[in-house]
């Protein structure tokens, strides 16, 4: 690990390299374009000449009606300039000519694009992802191979392609996702979240996408920028939404700003390699040590992902502008923010505010893999009287996952055990400003697959799915969970990231068509489809209030309701059948006479009679008068 860190320091030693002979070398501009009429109309363009250490000494002029060059920042590394420009509301789209003039030699003109904003139906983006949605999380490399010609790309560091290896590339891509959007829509999905599709030109482990090497380029093994736009357009045409996975905390070690750093403090520098502690407590601990706080925030997540210094104003602008650019360029509707707790939190407030100012309906939810409701609340909008106030609208709700549904299904019932943990965790929602903004889930790309976790018990599986699609918040399903994919994170996380069946030509089993699925897989898939599509049209489950009752003898009852619809959810986590009396919950059952099983509408219960519920099962009932 130390060798890697010192190699990065060696790259920073290239700062002083100057060579006027390369004055006509290519100059790259980031962001590559912008738009008139944006609230973020003061753009900082990072100009980079990979082969010209004298760029920083050149004079810069700009010519375009409505666009002015306000200031030129000369960074430590002579290959970089930061250009502050202002774009007037009436500036005309077109090529903005930026001229770079050395002290000796010829001037060089570079085009920077001022693009036209979307018109007509294409304006339907930045909608936000809410409790009315059902998110599907997938890894493009492991979902479906729609274009085998891009499986390997000449010149990229990782040339692997082997579906028999859990760590090598498998060839899935964005075209494969586009090809199966009808499947997702029929499943009841309304929003798609993918692990990052941006370029990851790293030597290995490029299947996950979290080590970006170019923010403004889709990884060519996934497709192109145009392919990503096509995916966005196809989603919106179906009334679905696009969630982009944002990674602000770190980069891949082969990102151009790491191989050739604009400034020494572009990343957090340590005398020897220093990893984050992964301990969030020091950030909020009244008795915490500054040393622990610094290592938590400034330590590196892993050696191959350098930790960005978001207090550096150029880094901050680079990241915020990329987020805004992504929404406008690709039609993003919301962001899932990776490793949220490791970022500089004041920077994150700035970034979130900038997005919300530009797109008032957009939503963000941050990955907050922490332990404890109060810890999680610290990172999102909350009702706590504390010095730091986060403006993050929602989080990935690890609390209902770590201390909730899994315990409910796998632990015996007790005063604080089993389903009591789920009840207790939800009872602490009072600390959040809006718990409906939180994303609830059974599993994801970092956790043991749900069907494995519950020891492949189909009744428990259905109970978990029923909870996911009826509890408060925004439900998220991990790809393949609907067809009972299995896999444990121990010993390697690759086992929870296997290929979706049917995504590759020649697959004998297909989750898309149903060919070769077992009876249990088909039953599970149909269960998800039925309940998810019911939820889509149920105001009680999407936007309704929630009321829960203290669990008794392993039975947990809660309601989702509006003035016009009431849904009763009965979960029996015990090892034996239990009887339920509707009148025991008369605050919500009063005035109703019938209860219809929403998964099997032909099954109707007389609410004057007791209901018998089998062990390890759950019923979702719509109450009727």
Catalytic residues: 338, 367
Pairing of the two strands 334-337 and 241-246: parallel
Q: How far apart are CA 328 and CA 332, in angstroms?
A: 7
**Nearest Cα to Cα of residue 556 among 448, 400, 430, 441:** 400
**Nearest Cα to Cα of residue 528 among 133, 131, 180, 187:** 187
Cα diameter, the chain: 94
Q: Output the CA torsion sign for 456, 460, 464, 470.
A: positive
The secondary structure element, H or E, covering residue 467 is helix 458-468
Q: How far apart are CA 542 and CA 326, in angstroms?
A: 28
Residue 136, phi-psi category: left (phi > 0), alpha (psi -120 to 50), beta (remainder): beta
Q: How far apart are CA 585 and CA 412, in angstroms?
A: 24
CA distances from 249 to 5, 276, 338, 391 (A): 17, 12, 8, 17
Q: Which residues pair with 364 in a beta bridge?
A: 335
Look at the block and give the residue holding tokens 């957090």: 268
624, 592 in Cβ contact below 8 A?
Answer: yes
In terms of Cβ atoms closer than 10 Å to its own Cβ (0-12, 13-18, 19+), residue 342 is: buried
Strand locations in 310-437, DSSP E? 334-337, 363-367, 394-396
**Nearest Cα to Cα of residue 195 among 245, 146, 243, 268:** 245
Q: How far is CA 23 from the centre of its chain?
A: 41
DSSP, collapsed to helix, strand or coil, labels residue 231 as helix
**Nearest Cα to Cα of residue 354 among 126, 116, 117:** 126
Pairing of the two strands 611-613 and 578-580: antiparallel
- Write the DSSP assignment of 149-172 as a string of letters: GGSS-TT-S-----TT-SSS----
Q: How far apart are CA 351 and CA 128, in angstroms?
A: 16
Q: How far apart are CA 539 and CA 152, in angstroms?
A: 46
Q: How far apart are CA 407 and CA 419, in angstroms?
A: 6
The secondary structure element, H or E, covering residue 221 is none
In 10 A of CB 332, how many CB atoms? 25
256, 27 in Cβ contact below 8 A?
Answer: no
Is the link from the previous residue into 491 a cis peptide, with omega within 30 of 0?
A: yes
């Amino acid at each position: 690990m130390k060798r890697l860190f010192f190699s990065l320091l060696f790259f920073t030693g290239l700062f002083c390299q100057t060579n006027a002979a390369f004055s006509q070398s290519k100059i790259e501009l980031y962001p590559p374009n912008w738009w008139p009429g944006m609230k973020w109309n003061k753009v900082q363009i990072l100009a980079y000449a990979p082969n010209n250490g004298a760029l920083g000494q050149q004079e810069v002029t700009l010519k375009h009606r409505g666009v002015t060059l306000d200031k030129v920042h000369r960074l430590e590394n002579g290959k970089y300039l930061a250009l502050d420009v202002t774009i007037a509301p009436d500036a005309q789209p077109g090529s903005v000519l930026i001229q770079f003039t050395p002290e000796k030699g010829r001037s060089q003109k570079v085009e920077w694009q001022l693009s036209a904003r979307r018109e007509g139906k294409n304006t339907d983006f930045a909608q936000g992802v809410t409790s009315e949605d059902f998110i599907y999380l997938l890894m493009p490399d492991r979902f479906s191979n729609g274009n085998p010609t891009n499986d390997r790309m000449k010149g990229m560091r990782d040339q692997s392609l082997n579906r028999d290896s859990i760590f090598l590339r498998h060839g899935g891509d964005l075209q494969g996702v586009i090809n199966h959007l009808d499947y997702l829509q029929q499943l009841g999905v309304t929003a798609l979240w993918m692990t990052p599709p941006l370029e990851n030109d790293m030597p290995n482990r490029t299947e996950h996408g979290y080590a970006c090497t170019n923010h403004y380029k889709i990884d060519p093994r996934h497709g192109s920028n145009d392919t990503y736009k096509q995916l966005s357009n196809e989603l919106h045409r179906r009334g679905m939404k696009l969630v982009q996975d944002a990674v602000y905390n770190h980069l891949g070690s082969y990102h151009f700003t790491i191989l050739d750093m604009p400034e020494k403090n572009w990343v957090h520098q340590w005398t020897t390699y220093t990893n984050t502690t992964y301990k969030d407590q020091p950030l909020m601990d009244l008795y915490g040590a500054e040393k622990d706080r610094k290592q938590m925030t400034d330590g590196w997540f892993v050696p191959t992902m350098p930790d960005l210094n978001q207090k550096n104003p150029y880094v901050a602008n680079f990241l915020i502008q990329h987020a805004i650019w992504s929404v406008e360029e690709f039609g993003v509707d919301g962001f899932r923010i990776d490793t949220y707790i490791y970022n500089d939190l004041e920077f994150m407030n700035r970034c979130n505010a900038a997005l919300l100012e530009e797109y008032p309906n957009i939503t963000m939810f941050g990955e907050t893999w922490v332990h404890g409701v109060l810890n999680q609340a610290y990172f999102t909008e909350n009702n706590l009287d504390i010095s730091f106030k986060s403006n993050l609208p929602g989080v990935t709700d690890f609390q209902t996952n770590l201390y909730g549904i899994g315990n409910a299904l796998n632990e015996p019932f007790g005063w604080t055990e089993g389903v009591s943990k789920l009840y207790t965790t939800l009872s602490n929602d009072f600390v959040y400003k809006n718990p409906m903004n939180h994303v609830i889930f059974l599993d994801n790309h970092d956790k043991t697959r749900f069907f494995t976790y519950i020891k492949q018990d189909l009744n428990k599986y259905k109970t978990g799915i029923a909870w996911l699609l009826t509890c408060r918040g925004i439900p998220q399903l991990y790809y393949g969970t609907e067809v009972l994919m299995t896999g444990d994170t121990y010993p390697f996380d690759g086992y929870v990231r296997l290929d979706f069946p049917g995504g590759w030509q020649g697959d004998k089993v297909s989750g898309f068509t149903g060919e070769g699925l077992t009876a249990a897989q088909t039953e599970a898939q149909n269960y998800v489809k039925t309940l998810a599509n019911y939820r889509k049209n149920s105001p009680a489950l999407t936007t309704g209030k929630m009321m829960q009752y203290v669990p008794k003898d392993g039975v947990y009852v809660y309601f989702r309701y509006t003035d016009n619809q009431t849904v009763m959810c009965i979960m029996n986590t015990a090892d034996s059948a239990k009887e339920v009396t509707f009148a025991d919950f008369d605050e919500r059952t009063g005035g109703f006479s019938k209860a219809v099983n929403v998964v099997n509408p032909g099954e109707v219960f007389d609410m004057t009679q007791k209901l018998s519920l089998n062990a390890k099962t759950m019923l979702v009932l719509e109450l009727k008068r």
